[in-house]
Amino acid sequence: MINNFQPIPKNFLSKPIYHRTYLINGELKEWNGKYDEVYSTISCTEVYAPTLIGTIPHLSKTEALEALEAALNAFGKGNGLWATMSVKNRIEIFEKFTEQMKTKREEIVRLMMWEIGKTINESQKEFDRTIEYINNTIDAYKQLDRDSANFQKKDGIYAHIRRGPLGVVLCMGPYNYPLNESFALIIPALLMGNTVIYKPPKYGVLLITPLLEIFKECFPKGVINILFGRGKEIATPILETGRVDILAFIGNSHSAIALQDKHPHKNRLRLILGLEAKNPAIILPDADLNLAISECISGALTFNGQRCTALKIIYLHNDIKKHFLSEFTKKVDNLPFGNPWDANVMLTPLPEPRKPDYIQELIDDATAKGAKILNKNGGKRYNNYIFPAVLAPVTPDMRVYQEEQFGPVVPIRFFSDIEEVRQEIADSQYGQQVSIFGKSIDTLAPLIDTMVNLVCRVNINSLCQRGPDIFPFTGRKDSAVGTLSVYDALRSFSIRTFVAFKDNKSNDEIFENILKTGASHFIRTDYIL
């Protein structure tokens, strides 16, 4: 076991945060029960030991149901202050929230580095991207509102059509983007007039705590409720009541299925799920190899491969494998490993203590079945890390072929006939994205035409990624339910609802008066600037 101890620079030292409150019904309640300790896998001592960075309330079913009651009351059977509030006022609240959130950047970035080991640059990017996401969502919402500010007429019937909230949303985000992916659910859910219960992930939980006071100050009571504890203990009782309208969850499909199964009226539960993926890179014989190598390294190993969009298997054409692999393995071996605040570091400690053992299991299984570790440093064990192993040739009977590794290991599969690759991707249980590297349009064009029917984003000569966030982000099969993007998320968290009336003198008068007096927040034709 390699000891990678580095003294922690003074400005990045972390004092434990003993967080005591949770947010229900506009009140920060002090918890007097059990607490969970939060550890970072980064060691502060020369002899390796995880660092205690704080404690967090371990809430129970009682508080979970209290939060549900608060969210239901705030929605008020469709008559709550938030659901009926004018679009303008809702936007003003978001603008105030965003301004205050910006003041917490440094604190949140520091916690992100300690809790999940994300590099300082990537942590800052995640924070800034979240602020941008909120601002873009507000703009998209204004546009949605403008587009609906009119009446349509057909067969003598007028219709004023908008999108309305569904009710109560249970949001649960993942540890790899604890801020951004959670907010990519919470923000559109709230903006459309729903009320929310949010449970942060197990890792990346303390970094939410600086925002609790701001949520409390900005939003009307019960509109957003924030709970801490175990998913099973909190989400299960909430769903069992059958009173949640949307489950917005990013994680794995086993948990998603277990959660939705708790709801007694499945037809009433809308699902917005971001699940596992195994995005392949296909390297064709005429690919620009320098470009393919650098994109595959970023694609497979940015944040140690802990991205749902990471390249998790590489299909490499036999004609170019020698050249590709000699460069690729050298470059992987030279990737700098260190703590998240170290300059230019790319590989960082894994936040899940069991992850190095899991990756080791994948490597052992693959090598027992005939694969080799092609790079010198591949599989080197540290106290909180396992250096990325480039594994080849990978075959379908290996676990690393079947499972989403979500960590630092790069499986490589060789091919001669593109048809084999096409079949495998079609048979895979995943369907998020693919990256294709090549130049000949004779090969590319037909491949694109099939791949768009097997995954939901085909990247040509570049890695897979979610951004820019205005593009649709979704997946087929076990990879997602529903579509997220700045614009699509507003649709996912709402439903079309409209007011209709026959065109006659008396009705026309009623609606002219409603418009003139501004008596309704729903029936309006004003243009929001």
Count of CB atoms within 10 A of residue 22's CB?
A: 23
Residue 382 half-sphere exposure toward CB, CA atoms < 13 A: 23
14 and 51 Cβ atoms separated by less than 8 Å: yes
What letter represents residue 497's amino acid?
A: T
Q: How far is the CB of 179 from ligand G3H (least distance, A)?
A: 12
Q: How far is the CB of 78 from ligand G3H (least distance, A)?
A: 32
Give the contact letters, 171-200, x = binds to ligand G3H (CB under 6 A), - = no: -----xx---x-------------------
**Binder to ligand G3H among 90, 263, 307, 321 (CB under 6 A)?**
307
CA end-to-end distance (rounded Å), the chain: 60
**Binder to ligand G3H among 72, 244, 308, 347 (CB under 6 A)?**
308
Q: Mind giving me the DSSP string for 248-308?
A: EEES-HHHHHHHHHT-S-GGG-EEEEE----EEEEE-TTS-HHHHHHHHHHHHHGGGG-ST
Stretch that binds ligand G3H, among 54-62, 261-269, 305-313, 324-332 (CB under 6 A): 305-313
User: Using CA atoms, how far apart are residues 474 and 45, in angstroms rounded to an integer?
Assistant: 43
Compute CA distances 372 → 318, 335, 366, whole Å: 16, 20, 8
Q: Which of residues 440-479 bind ligand G3H (CB under 6 A)?
A: 465-467
Q: How far is the CB of 309 from ligand G3H (least distance, A)?
A: 4
CB closer to ligand G3H out of 177 and 430: 177
Which pair of structure tokens corresponds to residue 397? 């009977």
**With helix as H, strand as E and coil as C, how does 114-180 read?**
HHHCCCHHHHHHHHHHHHHHHHHHHHHHHHHHHHCCCCEEECCEEEEEEEECCCEEEEECCCCCCCH
Residue 127 half-sphere exposure toward CB, CA atoms < 13 A: 24
Q: How far is the CB of 440 from ligand G3H (least distance, A)?
A: 27
User: Using CA atoms, how far apart are residues 277 and 441, in angstroms rounded to an integer?
Assistant: 27
Residue carrying structure tokens 């072929």: 401
Q: How far is the CB of 250 from ligand G3H (least distance, A)?
A: 8
Q: Site size for ligand G3H, by CB under 6 A?
A: 9
CB closer to ligand G3H out of 264 and 467: 467
4 and 383 Cβ atoms separated by less than 8 Å: yes
Residues forming a β-bridge with 99: none
Which pair of structure tokens corresponds to residue 81? 């202050």
Stretch that binds ligand G3H, among 43-51, 262-270, 307-315, 339-347 (CB under 6 A): 307-315
CB closer to ligand G3H out of 339 and 465: 465
CB closer to ligand G3H out of 90 and 307: 307
User: Using CA atoms, how far apart are residues 474 and 462, in angstroms rounded to an integer?
Assistant: 18
CB closer to ligand G3H out of 195 and 302: 302
Count of CB atoms within 10 A of residue 288's CB?
A: 13
Residue carrying structure tokens 């079309």: 496
CB closer to ligand G3H out of 86 and 135: 135
CB closer to ligand G3H out of 202 and 466: 466
The alpha-carbon radius of gyration of the chain (Å, integer) is 25
CB closer to ligand G3H out of 53 and 484: 484
Which pair of structure tokens corresponds to residue 145? 């509102």
Q: How far is the CB of 183 from ligand G3H (least distance, A)?
A: 12
**Binder to ligand G3H among 194, 209, 309, 384 (CB under 6 A)?**
309
Q: Which of residues 138-167 bind ligand G3H (CB under 6 A)?
A: none
Residues forming a β-bridge with 248: 171, 272
CB closer to ligand G3H out of 66 and 128: 128
Q: How far is the CB of 351 from ligand G3H (least distance, A)?
A: 14
375 and 329 Cβ atoms separated by less than 8 Å: yes
Q: How far is the CB of 184 from ligand G3H (least distance, A)?
A: 8
CB closer to ligand G3H out of 177 and 382: 177
User: Using CA atoms, how far apart are residues 393 and 372, in angstroms rounded to an integer?
Assistant: 7
Give the contact letters, 35-74, x = binds to ligand G3H (CB under 6 A), - = no: ----------------------------------------
CB closer to ligand G3H out of 199 and 466: 466
131 and 109 Cβ atoms separated by less than 8 Å: no
Residues forming a β-bridge with 171: 198, 248
Give the contact letters, 5-34, x = binds to ligand G3H (CB under 6 A), - = no: ------------------------------
Residues forming a β-bridge with 169: 196, 246
CB closer to ligand G3H out of 33 and 467: 467
Q: How far is the CB of 433 from ligand G3H (least distance, A)?
A: 9
Q: How far is the CB of 106 from ligand G3H (least distance, A)?
A: 22
Report the interface residues with ligand G3H, using CB under 6 A: 176-177, 181, 307-309, 465-467
